[in-house]
Structure 1
Amino acid sequence: MTETLDTLYVDGGWCPAADGSTFEVTDPASGEVIHRVASGGKADVQLAIAAAERALPVWSAATAYQRAEVLLKAHRLMLERSEDLAQLMTREQGKPIKAARTEVKYAADFLIWFAEEAKRVYGQTIPSAREDQRFLVMHQPVGVVGAVTPWNYPISMITRKVAPAIAAGCTIVLKPAEQTPLCAVAVFEILHEAGVPAGVANLVTAEDPEPIGTEFLTNPAIAKLTFTGSTAVGRMLAREAAGQMKRVSMELGGHAPFIVFGDADPEHAAKGAALVKLLNAGQACISPNRIFVHRSIRDEFVNVLTKRVSGMKVGQGLIDGVTVGPLIDSDAMDRMEQQVADAVAKGATVETGGTRLIDDGLAGGHFFAPTVLTGVTEEMRIYREETFGPIAPVIVFDDDDDVVAMANDTDYGLASYVYTQNLSKALRTAEGLRFGMVGINDINPTSAAAPFGGMKQSGLGREGAQEGLLEYLETKLVGISV
């Protein structure tokens, strides 16, 4: 019989849902049920918000050093448990163990980064035109935060929100993705042992996100909403949050261009494209969705890309040598098949992959073959839609100026990539791209110390870096007559 866990963490303690509801957590590589966990609802999230509201006055008055100490302890505990966390992530989310280990380290980086930034929330003095007046500027915590995190990076996306909230003196209620609640539980166990006071950080796992989101939007105690997920849901949340003028930060979808100019090394660029395209089986918001390659190096680039993609081992993430794990669910599988079928029907060529994988023990999971499509044009769904899977569509271009316009021809604006050996071209292209992040000959332009976020419909605000802490702070002006 599958074990049932009490996975709501409210006011410093673990508890079941008020109505006893539970739901199953499954392994996407096999379909096996791992655990049953508590499924919270409206009553549960109301209790969590009330606990966070009670804890706010004391926690916001704590010194920056006191808040930093808790985060430093959490950082140490996360590193000590890194292998257990990685194993859990691979089992629950599916990514290969090497990638899971990398994510745990990345998640821990946010804890130590914001522990340090907590002590650097500086004020300001401003000269006044009046001799008898002084201006002071100070930063204070926003208040109670409602947070929603995704399944594709189930540990690092939690610390990227919880750490700055705690550092700023806010209290927080987190609703993790229903596909990956166990990773969230493991993070909150660390926070508990690190000494986070009761009510400062609260966790509500739930199979149905709607009652939780509705309470975040309507409960006046929630001062800020932070969300990582789809653009459609993000737009709805931002629209509804405006009714109470809640602060919002949104990290939404992406449709990243990967531009390979004619002067680039095609082999180097193709290797980079294969790695970042198949990162987390393509289930990353920064994954390149449109690979633009100059016609002069098209053949060599495609040959190397196809060889690299076809050589990647697909399977359960704990198996040695596996570099591509499963997709998260059957809906994701259906989307891959539909995008490939649409592209082929409109003239694209499948260079490798293009199908579900069911042989060699993969039939029970959600596995799709790493795929390269050539001859992709703007009439195809994959040219416009975020794929979120292991399909690399190649688009040929001839004119350098045209390709920037082609790259910008999307409602999204999160990550982008440029390969060239010309410094002037690299800088001009980076300036011309309407994306929040640009990697120049670099497939990993991210760090806890760097601002992460997008333009246009890819989101609002930034996470990580100094900007990430400011998202949880209000600016207050004090005018003094002397």
Structure 2
Amino acid sequence: MSNVKTIEKYSKWTKSPIGGVWKSGSSNKECVVRNPYNNEVLVTFPYANKADINEAYETAERAQRSWGETSAYERIKVLEKVANLIEEKREEIVELLVEESGSSKLKANVEIDCSIADVKEAAKYPLQMEGSIRESLIPGKENRVYRDPVGVVGAITPWNWPFYLTIRVVAPAIATGNSIVLKPDSQTPISGGLMIAKIFEEAGLPEGVLNVIVADLEEIGDYFVEHPIPQVISFTGSTKAGQHVGSIATKHLKKPALELGGNNAFIVLDDADVDEAVSAAAFGKYMHSGQICIAINRIIIDRKLYPSFVEK
């Protein structure tokens, strides 16, 4: 029997940014990340526990005070750099998405394109955090409206489109002066969290603004949502899990931001090219095996084209 330990392919991703530094989780339990194609172990590392979650939230709260006062132009600079870095690291991210999340290369590239577009859009937000003076019902008075950061955001993101569905939450939150504690799915902790945190770090995001917690639900329970510091809990996932997260968040007077899938219609009108419509419908329904919240759920076809469409 050999005593030589196998070097795991993604062994550099054994630590998470918790409390402003990259460190190992404190749990006695291990997260084992596998390639869904062949069950190969990609990396093994300790989970984070409740103490790590508390440290991450407390650090995020401290970091947010200064980040929220950072000039809009500095925040824009970070986000523009993030978009550039994602493009520069495209091949690396594609390979990671293929091996960690079971993506095809086509799907992985679409995910990256969507992520870059969202970061560029979020880069517009810092200059929209403005105030206004409005009329009052009371004579001689005025109403002032300010757009301020909410503070700390707790985010729970899924495994199916891990890179994009995390970017979609992280980029706007950071752009508007918030800090964030992110809990990616434990099946895709690298593409759904650690890689993103490293990119933001390389882009110049200050320590502690983005923390990543990879945790076992059986160990932490609802603590991530119940913690007193986050003002907003963002969750992307199933309706059943979202109902639970939303109920816990509102019980503790936090704002839940829930994305629980879609029910998306594909409409074929009477003047459509049937071959093109069939091709588009198949792509929209079966890309990534249909494991996408924007996948087609219903196809509505004009009666005139129905027989030929169904046959094809």
Task: Report the alpha carbon displacement of residue 122 of structure 1 after superposing the two structures with TM.
Answer: 2.5
Structure 2 counterpart SS, 1:195: coil
Q: Which residue of 2 aligns with 1:150?
A: 158
Computing the radius of gyration over CA atoms, which structure comes out larger, 1 or 2?
A: 1
The question of 1:126 aligning with 2:138 is answered no
Matched with 1:30 is 38
**Distance in 1 between residues matched to 2:70 and 2:288, nearest whole Å:** 39
Of 48-57 and 221-230, deviating more is 48-57
1:131 to partner: Cα distance = 4.7
| 1:195 is aligned to 2:204 | yes
| Superposition pairs of residues 178-257 of structure 1, within 5 angstroms | 178-183=186-191, 184-206=193-215, 208-209=216-217, 211-212=219-220, 214-257=222-265
The 5-angstrom pairing of residues 316-327 of structure 1 reads none
Q: Name the aligned partner's letter for residue 128 of structure 1.
A: S
- Matched residues in 2 for 1:263 and 1:74: separation? 43
Question: Is the CA contact 2:64–2:151 (under 8 Å) kept in the aligned structure 1?
Answer: yes
Taking the aligned partners of 1:87 and 1:134, their CA distance within structure 2 comes to 56
Q: Is the 8 A contact 2:27 2:46 kept in 1?
A: no
Contact 1:95 1:281 in 2 (8 A): no
Q: Tell me, in whole angstroms, the C-alpha distance in 1 between the residues paired with 2:267 and 2:119.
A: 34
Shifted more, 10-19 versus 89-98: the winner is: 10-19
In structure 1, the residue corresponding to 2:266 is in which secondary structure?
Answer: strand
Alpha-carbon offset, residue 11 of structure 1: 2.6
Distance 2:274 2:15 in 1: 49
Contact 2:129 2:148 in 1 (8 A): no
**2:199 alignment partner AA:** I
Q: Partner amino acid for 2:160? A: N
Describe the SS at the equivalent of 2:147: strand
Sort the Cα spacing of 1:260 and 1:25 in 2 relative to 1 into closer, same or farther, 3 A: same
Letter in 1 for 2:103: K
Indicate how the Cα distance of structure 1 residues 119 and 274 shifts in structure 2: closer, same or farther if over 3 A, else same. same
Structure 2 distance, partners of 1:49, 1:11, is 8
The SS at the match of 2:26 is coil
Query: Using the alignment, how far apart are the partners of 2:71 and 2:42 within structure 1?
Result: 41
Q: Distance in 1 between matches of 2:15 and 2:220?
A: 15
2:181 aligns to what? 173
CA contact (8 A) 1:144 1:224 kept: yes
**What is the TM-score with the length of structure 2 in the denominator?**
0.91
For residue 109 of structure 2, the aligned residue among 101, 125, 128 is 101
* Helix, strand or coil at the partner of 1:101: helix
Q: Is the 8 A contact 1:27 1:91 kept in 2?
A: yes
* Other structure's SS at 2:169 match: helix
Query: SS at 2:172's partner residue?
Result: helix
User: Which residue identity is paired with 2:196?
Assistant: V
Q: Distance in 2 between matches of 1:51 and 1:177?
A: 22
Contact 1:175 1:212 in 2 (8 A): no
Cα distance, 1:16 vs. partner? 0.9
Q: 2:58 aligns with which of 50, 53, 57?
A: 50
SS in structure 1 at match of 2:304:
helix
Deviations 1:272-307 (A, max 9, x none): 101101121211111122323344323311232xxx
Distance 1:204 1:268, change over 3 A: same
User: Which deviations, in whole Å up to 9, do the C-alpha atoms of 1:158-178 show, x marking residues without a partner?
Assistant: 111111111111110000011
Looking at structure 1, the residues matched to 221 and 232 of structure 2 have their Cα atoms a distance apart, in angstroms, of 12
What is the alpha-carbon distance in structure 2 between the residues aligned to residue 12 and residue 90 of structure 1? 29
Q: Report the CA distance between 1:258 and its aligned residue.
A: 2.7
Give distance in 2, aligned partners of 1:211 and 1:113: 37
Q: Aligned partner of 1:182: which letter?
A: I
**RMSD between aligned alpha carbons?**
1.8
Paired with 1:276 and 1:241, the residues of 2 have a C-alpha distance of 33
Amino acid at match of 2:118: F
CA distance in structure 1 between the partners assigned to 2:89 and 2:234 by the alignment? 27
In structure 2, the CA distance between the partners of 1:6 and 1:290, relative to structure 1 (3 Å rule), is same
Q: Deviations over 1:335-369 (max 9, x none)?
A: xxxxxxxxxxxxxxxxxxxxxxxxxxxxxxxxxxx
Question: 1:229 Cα deviation (Å)?
Answer: 0.3
Equivalent residue letter for 1:159: I
Equivalent residue, structure 1, for 2:3: none
Q: Once the two structures are superposed, what CA deviation does each residue of 1:430-479 show, in whole Å capped at 9, x if it has no partner?
A: xxxxxxxxxxxxxxxxxxxxxxxxxxxxxxxxxxxxxxxxxxxxxxxxxx
Q: What is the CA distance between 1:215 and its match in structure 2? A: 1.8
Q: Report the CA distance shift for 1:263/1:35 in structure 2 as closer, same or farther (over 3 A).
A: same
TM-score (norm 1): 0.60
Change (3 A) 1:59 1:212: farther
Task: Note the C-alpha offset of 1:263.
Answer: 4.7
Give the share of equivalent positions with the same residue, in percent: 36
Q: Deviations over 1:109-161 (max 9, x none)?
A: 22221112211223221123445322211011111110011111111111111
Instruction: Point out the more displaced range, 124-133 or 197-206.
Output: 124-133
* Counterparts of 1:212 and 1:262, CA distance in 2: 54
In 2: Cα distance, 1:256 partner to 1:212 partner: 34
Is the partner of 1:47 in helix, strand or coil?
helix
Residue aligned with 1:61, SS: coil
Shift of 1:180: 0.7
- Structure-2 residue corresponding to 1:75: 83
Task: Give the Cα–Cα distance (whole angstroms) in 2 for the partners of residues 264 and 101 of structure 1.
Answer: 28
Structure 2 CA distance for aligned equivalents of residues 124 and 74 of structure 1: 30
Q: Aligned equivalents of 2:122 and 2:288: distance in 1?
A: 26
Aligned mates of 1:217, 1:71 — CA distance in 2: 27
Which residue is 2:310 aligned to?
302
**For residues 192 and 21 of structure 1, what CA distance do their matches in structure 2 show?**
27
Report how far residue 81 of structure 1 moved: 0.7
In the TM superposition, 1:434-445 aligns within 5 A as none
